[in-house]
Amino acid sequence: MNAQASAPRVVIVGAGFAGLHAARGLRNAPVRVTVIDRTNHHLFQPLLYQVATASLSPADISAPIRGVLGKQANSEVLLGEVTGVDVEGRRVLMDEQEVPFDYLVLATGVQHNYFGHDEWRQYAIGLKTLQDATVIQRKILLAFEEAEREQDAERRQALLTFVVVGAGPAGVEMTGAVAELAHKALASDFRHIDPKQARVLLVEAGPRILPTFPESLAKKARAELTRLGVEVRTNCAVSAADEYGVEIGGVQLAAKTIVWMAGVRGSPAGVWLGAETDAAGRVTVRQDLSVAGHPDIFVIGDNASVLRKGKPLPGLAPVAVQEGRYVASLIADRVAGMAGKARTRLARPFRYRSRGTLATVGRAYGVVTMGKLRLTGLLAWVTWLFFHIFFLIGYRNRFIVVFQWALAYFSFKRTARIILAETPVARATRQEGSPKT
Amino acid sequence: MNAQASAPRVVIVGAGFAGLHAARGLRNAPVRVTVIDRTNHHLFQPLLYQVATASLSPADISAPIRGVLGKQANSEVLLGEVTGVDVEGRRVLMDEQEVPFDYLVLATGVQHNYFGHDEWRQYAIGLKTLQDATVIQRKILLAFEEAEREQDAERRQALLTFVVVGAGPAGVEMTGAVAELAHKALASDFRHIDPKQARVLLVEAGPRILPTFPESLAKKARAELTRLGVEVRTNCAVSAADEYGVEIGGVQLAAKTIVWMAGVRGSPAGVWLGAETDAAGRVTVRQDLSVAGHPDIFVIGDNASVLRKGKPLPGLAPVAVQEGRYVASLIADRVAGMAGKARTRLARPFRYRSRGTLATVGRAYGVVTMGKLRLTGLLAWVTWLFFHIFFLIGYRNRFIVVFQWALAYFSFKRTARIILAETPVARATRQEGSPKT
């Protein structure tokens, strides 16, 4: 069905910011693009915490990959799981098929890092996928429901204690949103508990929150979190996590809901390639984002370890977008070069142009750093809002999300707090006999 | 925590249209209202097919029950499964607790009727809950994904064949939406299949579609369905359903997606009470919607069999709303009567005031019957839209839903087509070793 069956094949694994922008960057190139993802949607990850805290629905922050690439005639989309790469044979291995490539772009992202304690994962849930977000949302809402029924004061308090581990931007945003959910949105919903009594903790092993931000902004963000009722604990490493709670600095804290947002760990792409990885398992790439010894295989996005001034670039959406676009233009140039044109830009190394860093604390407070500019408060929040909307893929989402934010801003309502899966009890009794028909 | 611990207790089981309107109707009465539901949300069921066909998100058509009743000080909400009723002891039985009542309102709804073939349920999925809708949505979207990968022509056609069983308003609406999804929204998304080739069938055992509508309207609706590419088969009973498809009139039809919207069967409320039920298992109630021999126990909504001119009232939202309001005012009057006031309206029987019946076929065609008025086409669709919006509980939902409809209308886009659960494969490989940290 493809117009140019002889055109070089570019296979892109992962349709996050990096992979999708690489695919779109190749829309006018004489190549055949195949995008492989294990989900059918591109996810606007920076807003995932809003799904986890019942402000937005999954569809509000995602776009079907096929929808995004539907009109791009030189592309096709495969839904499935990649299991490895046959580097010599130039094929991507999947469960039921193999996909040959001329150029390979691995944009497989990262997972949370449990620092050797993967057994904590089931209690301290990470937040990387829509699936994660709906699990956390369900867990938070059910904790209030169970607390409403619970007679024992101690168990009730454990149900109403929410711990977020890791105080990067995502952890700070998540904590602020949980605090507002508990202390404002749910305030009048219960009769036997007072959601305002819920404890919300932000636990960070390092000396301060928002380590990638200037210290002055981090201080203000911390003050704002405190104003929202969050207990911020820095210099506190988690030493254990189980169904009862977490151990912080040797002290047990009873908490039924733990959200893990600490550290990253590379996805298996490095293993597939047998490539050099950094301490976190991210693939060490060369200046043109290719893998040493494999000039036609690129790793981009969070899973690439790209050094700038000796430090790896942060795992941010703008970095991934720029890497995706860079690799697309590199491949397009190289293909054009093969077709006889001058190989003009081949040697130009990737350079990340930072447009600043943003984070939000609660519903109307943000911190922004752009070059020498520092912003805090409402203005920073509006800046954050603008940038996030601007980058949302798909117009529907932009409007809907703005609209919902506006509503949430004025009403404090969380309209997406729908617990979807039925209780196991409900499922069991439903099988039982109903009256004869 | 309740202001009037001595006030009569009204327990309402089920927070659908009937139960929720009963609860709200009691907001000024000197009673304590307890609403029990196994989900945390009220569901706008008439739009459920829009979730099943990826036009709306679950949260768009639902409202948290606690949110709706949060400000109603004389109410409380319990999330849980009712297992029975102790009629003599005047207690509602739940898994872990018992709830005493002075007045009991059972608004537990109905299930689909598989006419003695409950083994079909797993292949021919009903559409009653958000859970059902997300399962169907996932199944439809995955069928296209699998077809895109499938090499065998016969299996591919089975994946691209969608059968809706039952041609009441819900079945007609569902079929129209599936046809538009396949033939319009997904038209340019695939490379190896043409979604326009998908077969969409509406199968009805009776002689015509929309049996509760005037025949002239049903004919026009059928013509519109045909125009949308739906194959309508009347006088065709399903005689078998399994993983390969359905048997219709002795002929096997290979189809991977079957949606069951045929017939209703009462929920177990009749069994709990040991009350008289009709052939479908719905509880036969008296003129005041109470159960014979139990003047303080009421059954309302779809699960009540209320006769009008010898025929039971249809299972429509307006019927349920009016029954809920009626029972609320009856209980309020009776409580006031006990407090010394005249029992003025006690004997007034319930009367349903029909404001007409509406159904929609595809995105801009409706059929409406109101008294002597008959409408078809765009005007009927706008009427339908207006009524549905008007009845949506929660302002956010009204705006969002209108907005999304407007977008869908002009773009044919289905923005909610997000497949949420990961494939089993993905889940398995995720456990596997990632690079060491």
- pLDDT tens per residue across span B116-170: 899 999 999 999 999 999 999 999 999 999 999 899 999 999 999 999 999 999 9
Measure CB to CB from residue B130 to each of A111, A265, A418 and give the nearest one: A418
Distances (CA, A) of A44 to A59, A64, A96, B269, B344: 10, 11, 29, 45, 60
Identify whether the C-beta of residue A116 lies closer than 8 Å to the C-beta of residue B435: no
Quick one: closest CA in A to B419, which residue?
Answer: A40
- Contact list in A for residue B416 (CB cut-off 8 A) is 57, 59
Residue A433 buriedness (CB in 10 A; 0-12 / 13-18 / 19+): exposed
Rounded CA-CA distance B363/B385 in Å is 10
Tell me the shortest Cα–Cα distance from B66 to chain A, in angstroms.
5
- Contact list in A for residue B189 (CB cut-off 8 A) is 64, 66-67, 70, 77
**Angle at which helices B395-411 and B378-391 pack, to 10 degrees?**
150
- pLDDT per position as a tens digit, B218-270: 999 999 999 999 999 999 999 999 999 999 988 999 999 999 999 889 999 99
Q: Which two tokens stand for residue B380?
A: 């009927």
- Contact list in A for residue B136 (CB cut-off 8 A) is none
Mean pLDDT (whole number) for B53-71: 87
Kindly write down the DSSP assignment for every residue of B40-104, as one continuous string.
SEEE-GGGHHHHHTTSS-GGGGEEEHHHHHTT-TTEEEEES-EEEEETTTTEEEESS-EEE-SEE
Q: Do A422 and B131 touch (CB under 8 A)?
A: yes
Mean pLDDT (whole number) for B319-324: 95
In this prediction, residue B409 carries a pLDDT of 58
In this prediction, residue B245 carries a pLDDT of 96
- If you count DSSP H runs as helices and E runs as strands, how many of each does chain A have, helices first? 12, 28
Q: Do A70 and B399 touch (CB under 8 A)?
A: no
Tell me the shortest Cα–Cα distance from A426 to chain B, in angstroms.
6
In this prediction, residue A19 carries a pLDDT of 97
Instruction: Give the closest residue to B217 by CA, choosing from B54, B406, B376.
Output: B376
Mutation pick from B40, B41, B43, B432 vs chain A, by most beta carbons of A within 10 Å, is: B40
The bridge status of strand B290-291 relative to strand B98-100 is unpaired
- Contact list in A for residue B145 (CB cut-off 8 A) is 40, 79
- Contact list in A for residue B131 (CB cut-off 8 A) is 420-422
B350 half-sphere exposure, CB direction, 13 A CA radius: 30
Least confident of A110-124, A337-351, B43-57, B342-356: A337-351
Q: Which two tokens stand for residue A126?
A: 């990470």
- pLDDT per position as a tens digit, B85-126: 999 999 999 988 999 999 999 999 999 999 889 999 999 999
Q: Do B81 and A111 touch (CB under 8 A)?
A: no
Residue A184 buriedness (CB in 10 A; 0-12 / 13-18 / 19+): buried
In this prediction, residue B431 carries a pLDDT of 32
Tell me the shortest Cα–Cα distance from B75 to chain A, in angstroms.
9
Instruction: Give the closest residue to A130 by CA, choosing from B8, B57, B53, B352.
Output: B57
Q: Do A403 and B403 touch (CB under 8 A)?
A: yes
Cα A428 to chain centroid, rounded: 35
Rounded CA-CA distance B255/A393 in Å is 34
Q: Do B434 and A116 touch (CB under 8 A)?
A: no
- Contact list in B for residue A419 (CB cut-off 8 A) is 39-41, 79
Instruction: Give the closest residue to A331 by CA, choosing from A9, A2, A5.
Output: A9
Q: Do A425 and B80 touch (CB under 8 A)?
A: yes
Tell me the shortest Cα–Cα distance from A297 to chain B, in angstroms.
19
Q: How many CB atoms lie within 10 A of CB B304?
A: 31
Q: Which secondary structure element, helix H or strand E, spans residue B251, and what is its range?
A: strand B251-254
Measure CB to CB from residue B40 to each of A191, A419, A433 and give the nearest one: A419
Q: Which has the higher per-residue pLDDT, B9 or A186? A: B9
- Contact list in A for residue B80 (CB cut-off 8 A) is 149, 423, 425
Q: Taking all residues of chain A, what is their mean pLDDT, rounded to a whole number?
A: 87
CA angle, corner B55, sides to B53 and B61, nearest 5?
100
Rounded CA-CA distance A378/A380 in Å is 5
- Contact list in A for residue B63 (CB cut-off 8 A) is 415
Q: Do B149 and A434 touch (CB under 8 A)?
A: no
Quick one: closest CA in A to B62, which residue?
Answer: A418
- pLDDT per position as a tens digit, A51-72: 999 888 888 888 889 988 988 9
Q: Taking all residues of chain B, what is their mean pLDDT, rounded to a whole number?
A: 87
Instruction: Give the closest residue to A67 by CA, choosing from A32, A37, A87, A29.
Output: A37
Would you say residue A430 has pLDDT above 80? no
- pLDDT per position as a tens digit, B259-301: 999 988 999 999 999 999 999 999 999 999 999 999 999 999 9
- pLDDT per position as a tens digit, B14-40: 999 999 999 999 999 999 999 999 999
CA angle, corner B185, sides to B181 and B190, nearest 5?
105
**Angle at which helices A395-411 and B395-411 pack, to 10 degrees?**
170
Q: Do B417 and A134 touch (CB under 8 A)?
A: no
Mean pLDDT (whole number) for A187-209: 94
Rounded CA-CA distance A115/A294 in Å is 30
Identify whether the C-beta of residue B234 lies closer than 8 Å to the C-beta of residue B208: yes
Q: How many CB atoms lie within 10 A of CB A174?
A: 26
Q: Do A400 and B404 touch (CB under 8 A)?
A: yes
A331-351: burial string, b at 16+ Cβ within 10 Å, e else: bbbbbbeeeeeeeeeeeeebe
Rounded CA-CA distance A22/A168 in Å is 27
Distances (CA, A) of A395 to A26, A399, B180, B351: 22, 6, 21, 47
Mean pLDDT (whole number) for B417-432: 43
In this prediction, residue A263 carries a pLDDT of 85
Mean pLDDT (whole number) for A307-318: 88
Q: Do B435 and A66 touch (CB under 8 A)?
A: no
Rounded CA-CA distance A162/A147 in Å is 13
- In percent, the amount of chain B with pLDDT more than 70 equals 86
- Contact list in B for residue A80 (CB cut-off 8 A) is 149, 423, 425
Rounded CA-CA distance B382/B211 in Å is 22
Would you say residue B398 has pLDDT above 90? no
- pLDDT per position as a tens digit, B192-212: 999 999 999 999 999 999 998
B55 half-sphere exposure, CB direction, 13 A CA radius: 31
In this prediction, residue B422 carries a pLDDT of 38
Largest Cα separation within chain B, whole Å, is 79
- Which single residue is written with the structure tokens 């922008």? A21
- φ/ψ of A201, rounded to 5, equals -120, 140
Beta bridge partners of B248: B238, B251
Quick one: closest CA in A to B411, which residue?
Answer: A396
Identify whether the C-beta of residue A42 lies closer than 8 Å to the C-beta of residue A65: yes
Instruction: Give the closest residue to A97 by CA, choosing from B214, B96, B150, B349.
Output: B150
Tell me the shortest Cα–Cα distance from A36 to chain B, in angstroms.
12
Name B304's Cβ contacts closer than 8 Å, sequence gap at least 6.
B282, B283, B285, B289, B323
pTM for the whole thing? 0.86
Measure CB to CB from residue A277 to each of B400, B419, B435 and give the nearest one: B435
Identify whether the C-beta of residue B403 lies closer than 8 Å to the C-beta of residue B56: no
Q: Active-site positions of B?
A: 173
SS3 content of chain B, % helix, strand, coil (to 5): 35, 25, 40
Side-by-side strand order, sheet with A230-233: A124-126, A257-260, A161-165, A199-203, A230-233
Q: Do A38 and B426 touch (CB under 8 A)?
A: yes
Rounded CA-CA distance A201/A255 in Å is 10
- Contact list in B for residue A268 (CB cut-off 8 A) is 432-435
Tell me the shortest Cα–Cα distance from A355 to chain B, in angstroms.
30
In this prediction, residue B255 carries a pLDDT of 97
Q: Do B96 and A149 touch (CB under 8 A)?
A: yes
- If you count DSSP H runs as helices and E runs as strands, how many of each does chain B have, helices first? 12, 28
Q: Which two tokens stand for residue A332?
A: 């397009």
Name A223's Cβ contacts closer than 8 Å, sequence gap at least 6.
none
Q: Do B420 and A131 touch (CB under 8 A)?
A: yes
Q: Do B415 and A394 touch (CB under 8 A)?
A: yes
Q: Do B403 and A399 touch (CB under 8 A)?
A: yes
How many CB contacts within 8 angstroms connect chain A with chain B?
206
Rounded CA-CA distance A199/A182 in Å is 9
Q: Which has the higher per-residue pLDDT, A209 or B387? A: A209
Contacts of A279-283 with CB under 8 Å at 24 or more apart are A279/B437, A280/A110, A280/A113, A280/A305, A280/B437, A281/B434, A281/B435, A281/B436, A281/B437, A282/A110, A282/A312, A283/A106
Kindly write down the DSSP assignment for every residue of A67-127, as one continuous string.
HHHTT-TTEEEEES-EEEEETTTTEEEESS-EEE-SEEEE---EEE--TT-GGGTTTEEE-
Q: Which has the higher per-residue pLDDT, B343 or B275? A: B275
Q: Do A70 and B189 touch (CB under 8 A)?
A: yes
Q: Do B189 and A435 touch (CB under 8 A)?
A: no
Reduce the DSSP state of residue B200 to 3 states and report it. Answer: strand
Quick one: closest CA in A to B436, which residue?
Answer: A281
Least confident of A186-190, A420-424, B304-308, B340-344: A420-424
- φ/ψ of A49, rounded to 5, equals -65, -25
Mutation pick from B189, B303, B402 vs chain A, by most beta carbons of A within 10 Å, is: B189
Measure CB to CB from residue A131 to each of B81, B130, B421 and give the nearest one: B421
Measure CB to CB from residue B270 to each of A41, A190, A435 and give the nearest one: A435
Mutation pick from B68, B119, B191, B282 vs chain A, by most beta carbons of A within 10 Å, is: B191
Tell me the shortest Cα–Cα distance from A429 to chain B, in angstroms.
8
Tell me the shortest Cα–Cα distance from B348 to chain A, in angstroms.
30
- pLDDT per position as a tens digit, A386-414: 777 766 655 555 656 666 665 555 555 56
Q: Active-site positions of A?
A: 173
Q: Which two tokens stand for residue A96?
A: 């039921």
Measure CB to CB from residue A429 to each of B83, B281, B437 and give the nearest one: B83
E strand spans, B127-197 = 161-165
Residue A2's pLDDT band, with cuts at 50, 70 and 90, is very low
ipTM (interface pTM) = 0.82
Would you say residue A78 has pLDDT above 60? yes
Q: Which two tokens stand for residue B348?
A: 């007034």
Quick one: closest CA in B to A130, which residue?
Answer: B420
Tell me the shortest Cα–Cα distance from A312 to chain B, in angstroms.
16
Least confident of A10-14, A223-227, A373-377, B304-308: A373-377
Measure CB to CB from residue B57 to each of A59, A64, A434 and give the nearest one: A59
Q: Which secondary structure element, helix H or strand E, spans residue B22, and what is its range?
A: helix B17-25
